[in-house]
Structure 1
Amino acid sequence: MTLLDGAIGTSHIIALLGLLWLFPVSSSYSLPLFTTNARNNQLIHKSNSRQSRLEHLTSQSDLNSTERLELTGLRARGDTYNSSLFTETHVHFKNLHNTIFSTLTNIDDTLFYLDGPQSTTTRHLLATGYDNDKLYTANYFGETVAELKRLIPNVFEGSASEVLKSLDVNFDGYYLDSCTGSTSKIIEILNTITFNKPRTVLGITLTNSSPDGSSIINRVIELNQWLYSQDGVKVESVCDEPRRWGVEGEVKFEDEGVVVLWWVVLNKDDNRT
């Protein structure tokens, strides 16, 4: 399927092309600019590199002894996510999208999302009124898992794709705030999802940095192509008409090299759609 097959729709094509104003189309590798502090940017660069290596190693099924030791060492160094390095603007941006997640879902929904050691998304959902035993999250790092388990019971150590494969749960919403630029890693997670609820919310974070050098607009299109190729569902982009979905006020879907995409996936087999 290509972008012009008609499955995506004119309005969404226009929205995607609008992203060209936000992101360079060059194939160069660039880092998300979370801070203006050179030291912090250096730390973020190192964290991103470690995260990429972790993602690679955890996706392999046949690690040798050296790679297993490397993976153990990387995990022992602690979580790669550190929101204290973000600018005030980016913290506000992240909080905004936690609010969008809770706006698009209902407090009695069962949700899967990714969270870090600061437990920002978990704390937001609990404060909004969600039941703690209907919140599920995954993390590579034991210390972060232990911290999150102080708030909710369903916290699992491992990658999102590994955890979702192991769970027999029908989720109403997913927020894959993985801070990766690799669409292959995201699609690996998406392949574990079955959109069998009448309505499923999906949020994905995508960074401007790409290990394979592809532009962010091409990667956004790739994710849309995957979604719109799924059988039996109708896909609605929240980014096209946020107020239609109850997202009010000033809405920002890009900040400092990070874009957050939101969809509502409707099951065509359900007569309420």
Structure 2
Amino acid sequence: MGLLWLFPVSSSYSLPLFTTNARNNQLIHKSNARQSRLEHLTSQSDLNSTERLELTGLRARGDTYNSSLFTETHVHFKNLHNTIFSTLTNIDDTLFYLDGPQSTTTRHLLATGYDNDKLYTANYFGETVAELKRLIPNVFEGSASEVLKSLDVNFDGYYLDSCTGSTSKIIEILNTITFNKPRTVLGITLTNSSPDGSSIINRVIELNQWLYSQDGVKVESVCDEPRRWGVEGEVKFEDEGVVVLWWVVLNKDDNRT
């Protein structure tokens, strides 16, 4: 479970900064805070009337994700990982991923040749759902964990680009996944900021521990040997406060160590 490639000694890991523009930085931090609050409220089953009104108001303000605020470098980084997703999977695979109002991941997968009826995505916001449905039919309003619980689909790949630093939220999603396919691709993003103040290294270790503790599977880290998995050219797994992790999960391997 190699980790050192993620963390250059000269890097400073605090809040993610995707742009050098101070106003854009402020907007991003506010969006991240709103996203964290949305995640918290939607994970609760017993909201009181005040919290229900708050949740309605947060959703009414529109999608928290706005790639127009990113630097050119970060846009390139996000595009790179869409390409890694399509490199690790096949065009006849059934995929689940998270996407925003710009539909960047969806557009990439369609342009690469994936069938639109085999692409599934989820989003909190009705307007974004409507926009994504212009491209693919299987778009669902709600959190990833809610949607995955409701679907009776065995996916070949997942890209959980959730813009969160909370491993508990990610593990909540992972607990809905059953690795039934012979081979499952899994991508996860983590931001440097964490609600509990945990370091990025400790959170990466926590996710690895969860994966490697699953019974009946063999887990391979793509980040350790990207070219072994066909990921060629520039390979970058951290940029401006965001880390992207990729694994291939092989089912029913009796020789697992």
* Match in the other structure for 1:189: 173
Equivalent residue for 1:232, pick from 197, 216, 225: 216
| Gaps in structure 2 of 5+ consecutive residues | none
**Aligned residue-pair number:** 257
After TM superposition, the structure 1 stretch with the greater mean CA deviation from structure 2, 17-26 or 189-198, is 17-26
Q: Does residue 1:151 correspond to 2:96, yes or no?
A: no
Moved over 2 A (4+): 17-30, 269-273
Could you tell me which runs of 5 or more consecutive residues in structure 1 were left unpaired when the two chains were aligned.
1-16
**C-alpha contact (below 8 Å) 1:198/1:272 kept by paired residues:** no
Secondary structure of residue in 2 paired with 1:180: coil
State the structure with bigger RCO (CA 8 A, min sep 6), 1 or 2: 1
TM-score for both structures, normalised by structure 1: 0.90
- Counterpart of 1:230 in 2: which secondary structure? coil
**Does the CA contact (< 8 Å) of 1:181 and 1:207 recur in 2?**
yes
Question: Could you tell me how far 1:236 is from its partner in structure 2?
Answer: 0.3
Kept in 2: contact 1:26–1:215 (CA 8 A): no
Aligned equivalent of 2:115: 131
Checking the alignment, whether the CA contact within 8 Å between 2:2 and 2:224 is kept in structure 1 is no
Q: Deviations over 1:225-245 (max 9, x none)?
A: 000000000000000100000
SS in 2 for 1:178: coil
1:4 is aligned to none
What CA RMSD, in Å, does the superposition of the two structures yield over aligned residues?
A: 2.5
Structure 1 residue 30: deviation in Å?
A: 2.7
Kept in 2, the 8 Å contact 1:140–1:158? The answer is yes
Deviation, structure 1 residue 108: 0.2
**Does the Cα contact within 8 Å between 2:13 and 2:241 map onto a contact in 1?**
no
Within 1, Cα distance between the matches of 2:63 and 2:14? 22
- Is the CA contact (8 Å cut-off) linking 1:25 and 1:216 kept in structure 2? no
Alpha carbons of structure 1 residues 191 and 41: separation in structure 2 relative to 1, 3 Å: same
CA deviations on 1:9-56 (whole Å, 9 max, x unpaired) are: xxxxxxxx8745755999999321100000000000100000000000
Whether contact under 8 Å (1:27, 1:215) holds in the other structure is no
- The Cα shift of 1:270 comes to 9.3
Counterpart-to-counterpart distance in 2, 1:102 and 1:272: 26
Identity among equivalent positions (%) equals 99
Give deviations 1:63-95, integer Å, cap 9, x for gaps: 000000000000000000000000000000000
